[in-house]
Amino acid sequence: MPEVRPEVLPPPPAGRLEITYIANSGFLLSSGTTRVLIDALYFDGDIWESPSKKIQKAIVSGDTPFRNITHMLASHYHADHFDAALTSRFLINNPGAMLITNAQTDSVLQKVYRQDPELKRPKQTKIIQTPMFGSETYESGDLKVKCLMQRHMGKDDFKVMSMGFLVEMGGKKVLHIGDAGWTDENFAGYNLQDENIDIAFIHYWFLLDCEGRRILDTQVKPKRSWLPTSLTMNYDVTTKESRSIILMWRFS
């Protein structure tokens, strides 16, 4: 079976937003010359979908369709959202890109740097230092990212800071909540319901719990919701391997 390759389209003009789904909670947002990756570069998602090796290589190398990435956002350090070794190589190969993440994730990246200090790219890294349930805003050109420090879902990951991102670009507002749990403390203080959010990327478990649905309906109130982890993988019967399906959605 021949490999199905994603259609490479010209960059969307400023004022129009293009969203490309990559794997699990990984996305590429594009508008004009601004191109933002979120939770899209990692090796092994375990039970969750992972980007194929070809997609990993294309992201790290800055090849089509991942040329000229301007920003990489990493919500937290878990292996189905982030990989330190891949990220360090990405920053070297993409000197115009800026990594935005929290101190916990940066501590994992520092372990790679201790092994090879030549990999360090401090001018390409923005560490968000706000405490749990705080926020900090990053702006660059037409891009505005409000970083929300939220608690990871589940008792086992109680101390994990999962950073949410309210991204404004292309005249739209997009919310990505990483692996935040459906609790009032994670959402009540941000007044997201007043942000007029165009689309929110949420996990399907928000819809399996009445509290999750309540928070989505009252404290987020997006115009649209997208359940990224409900999207399946493409199984190639000829190679017996699964491949990520790249899905693209444009709206203006």
Question: Is 246 within a domain?
Answer: no
Q: Which of 71, 9, 10 is nearest to 41 (CA)?
A: 71
Helix (H) or strand (E) segment spanning residue 161: strand 161-169
Residue 204 DSSP symbol = G
Question: Is 252 within a domain?
Answer: no
Q: Which of 93, 78, 5 is nearest to 44 (CA)?
A: 78
Identity at 142, one-letter amino acid code: D
Q: Which pLDDT score, from 0 to 100, does residue 228 have? A: 63
Q: Which of 61, 51, 57 is nearest to 95 (CA)?
A: 61
Per-residue pLDDT tens for 211-223?
A: 989 999 999 999 9
Q: What is the per-residue DSSP string for 22-36?
A: EETTEEEEEETTEEE
Q: Which pLDDT score, from 0 to 100, does residue 208 have? A: 84
- CATH number for 38: 3.60.15.10
Q: Which pLDDT score, from 0 to 100, does residue 219 have? A: 95
Question: Is 211 within a domain?
Answer: yes
Q: Which pLDDT score, from 0 to 100, does residue 207 have? A: 83
The angle that helices 103-115 and 84-93 make with each other, rounded to 10 degrees, is 80
Domain count, the chain: 1
Q: Which pLDDT score, from 0 to 100, does residue 166 have? A: 98
Per-residue pLDDT of the chain (252 residues; tens, 9 = 90+): 444 444 555 666 667 899 998 988 899 999 999 999 999 998 775 666 788 889 999 999 999 999 999 999 999 988 888 999 999 999 999 999 999 999 999 999 999 998 888 888 889 999 999 999 999 999 999 999 999 999 998 778 778 899 999 999 999 999 999 889 899 999 999 999 999 999 999 887 788 889 989 999 999 999 988 776 534 333 333 333 434 444 555 554
Structural domain of residue 40, as residue ranges? 17-238
**Phi, psi for residue 23 in degrees, rounded to 5:** -170, 145
Question: Is 117 within a domain?
Answer: yes
Maximum CA pair distance of the chain?
Answer: 51
175/199 Cα distance (integer angstroms): 6
**Phi, psi for residue 238 in degrees, rounded to 5:** -80, -35
Sign of the CA dihedral with 136 first, then 42, 56, and 28 last: negative
Question: Is 6 within a domain?
Answer: no
Question: Is 1 within a domain?
Answer: no
**Residues contacting 181, CB < 8 A, separation 6+:** 150, 151, 152, 153, 154
Q: Which pLDDT score, from 0 to 100, does residue 232 have? A: 38
Question: Is 60 within a domain?
Answer: yes
219/65 Cα distance (integer angstroms): 35
Sign of the CA dihedral with 178 first, then 184, 186, and 191 last: positive
pTM: 0.85
Question: Is 92 within a domain?
Answer: yes
